[in-house]
Amino acid sequence: MPRPFIIALLIGAIVSLPAHAGGDVDAGRAFFNQDCGGCHALSSDTNHYAPNLNCIIGRAAASAPFPRYTPDMKALEANGLVWDHQNLDAFLTDPKTFARERLQNPDAIILMQVEVAEAADRQNVIAYIESRCR
Ligand code: HEC
């Protein structure tokens, strides 16, 4: 691997560190209730309109017992995607672009369309979801 590339990777890792740092769980709860909770539950047995997000960190994409995942969401799972802080942060920034880039398919369509523009909101909501993992 050429050295500039390795350095760029290292810088990228350092710059993205704040996205991993603990967010504010209380702020994340308020954000979740307002922007996610209408569709998603956090309890593992509730998958009404959208898949539950119980223990989503460390879980394979599209692996909740949710019968209506789109084919492209299932393709992310087949592609080996396992949610971690970093890819969840990227997904929440722009789910459609994330899926298209990951699948290398410019026509990929998924039903998760909420974009969380603010990095702090993403960190907080991820911290809250993680805090509720049972
Ligand atoms: C309008 C309903 C709706 C809202 C609001 C919504 N989502 Fe989703 N979300 C979905 C649906 C539907 C899917 C499944 C997408 C598919 O199969 O294409 C999904 C998928 C996901 C996934 C992937 C789940 C898995 O099993 O791999 C995550 C993570 C996620 N949403 C997080 C969030 C977060 C965090 C918020 C709040 C910022 C949010 N969503 C807001 C409907 C919603």
Across 113-132, average pLDDT: 97
40-93 per-position pLDDT tens digit:
999 887 877 999 999 999 999 999 999 999 999 999 999 999 999 999 999 999
pLDDT at position 47: 78
Number of structural domains in the chain: 1
35 against 6, higher pLDDT: 35
Ligand 1 binding pocket includes 70 (Cβ within 6 Å): yes
Q: If you measure from the C-alpha of residue 15 to the centroid of ligand 1, how many angstroms do you get, rounded to a whole number?
A: 26
User: Contact, 24 vs 114, CB < 8 A?
Assistant: no
pLDDT at position 5: 52
Ligand 1 binding pocket includes 103 (Cβ within 6 Å): no
89-106 per-position pLDDT tens digit:
999 999 999 999 999 999
Ligand 1 binding pocket includes 41 (Cβ within 6 Å): no
CATH number of the domain within which 21 lies: 1.10.760.10
Across 113-123, average pLDDT: 98
* DSSP codes, 31-65: HHHHHTTTT--SSTT--SSS---TT-TTSBTT-SS
User: Contact, 110 vs 72, CB < 8 A?
Assistant: yes
Ligand 1 atom closest to Cα of residue 81: 27
* Local structure of residue 67 (DSSP, 8 states): T
Domain of 54 in residue numbering reads as 3-131
User: Contact, 108 vs 96, CB < 8 A?
Assistant: yes
User: Contact, 1 vs 106, CB < 8 A?
Assistant: no
pTM score: 0.87
Average pLDDT, the chain: 88
pLDDT at position 43: 86
